[in-house]
Amino acid sequence: MQANHSETVQSQFDPQAQAYLQSAVHAAGPDLLYAADLISQSLPDAAGKLVDVGCGAGHLSFTLAPAAASVVAVDPSPSMLATVDRVAAEKGLGNIRTLQASAESMPFDDGQFCVVASRYSAHHWLDLPAALKEMRRIVKPRGYLLMIDVEGDENPLVDTHLQTIEILRDRSHIRDRSPSEWARLMADAGFSAIEHQSWITRLAFEPWVTRMRTSPERIAMIRTVQREAPAEVKQALAIEDDGSFSMRTGLWWARA
């Protein structure tokens, strides 16, 4: 029987928790530094409760925990959550706890958190509008939404090529949303005062495909798409001879 999307996500990520923990792209970046500044300025005296939705190996939780009273790291992958538990203990971050759940349905009371956050996860979510509405439900009135993810491109030609290589590399990929899509989705979910920042992020090809255990057949297809891409696409994605390329990491900050 063919796996459904949730099963595909589980099979893709459960065995790769250590790889994501060690991934340079996930472990650092200007977006994490910017996020830490936002949280420290918005939660004085480390008094707020925060939830990290689709926490993966926990890099956002680890970064924001010192500025929060507590962090709940939520993910559907047991292996990712076990990694977060282990590393949080190693780092002495006793205010982090983990919970297995999907973004679209979380077992929290209404208005429980000062900040709802997510990083590099939303492009895997089966129903992003429902997930954003769920995040709106569990955040306090006038609380904050922090979303960080790969940006889709506003240019349809570039975006089609980006989405194509993403799904070839990772069967659990759904869609990288463009900044205009994010603004509309957040507003529809009930968030306002939306701010946006973005950074160029270079993806070295070999670690990028190795981290997701992409098959040789799919790697070959990705390289064909890259080689045959129009000049505008190669320029926009800064495609290099070895397949390495650049995309944009977007950060959105909004109020409930």
Domains of the chain: 5-152+174-201+248-255 (3.40.50.150)
Q: In the predicted model, what is the mean pLDDT of the chain?
A: 91
pLDDT score at 16: 58
pLDDT score at 17: 52
Q: CA angle, corner 113, sides to 109 and 114, nearest 5?
A: 155
pLDDT score at 15: 55
How many Cβ atoms are within 10 Å of 161's Cβ, its own excluded?
24
Percentage helix, strand, coil for the chain under 3-state DSSP, each rounded to 5: 50, 25, 25
* Confidence tier at 18 by pLDDT (50, 70, 90): low
Query: Taking a C-beta distance cutoff of 8 angstroms, is the pair 153, 159 a contact?
Result: yes
Closest-CA residue to 233 (of 221, 242, 246, 251) = 246
Model confidence over 222-232: pLDDT tens digits?
A: 999 999 999 99
- Give the residue-averaged pLDDT of 179-198: 97
Question: What predicted TM-score, i.e. pTM, was given to this entire model?
Answer: 0.90
| Structure tokens belonging to residue 195 | 């701010």
pLDDT score at 219: 98
pLDDT score at 44: 75
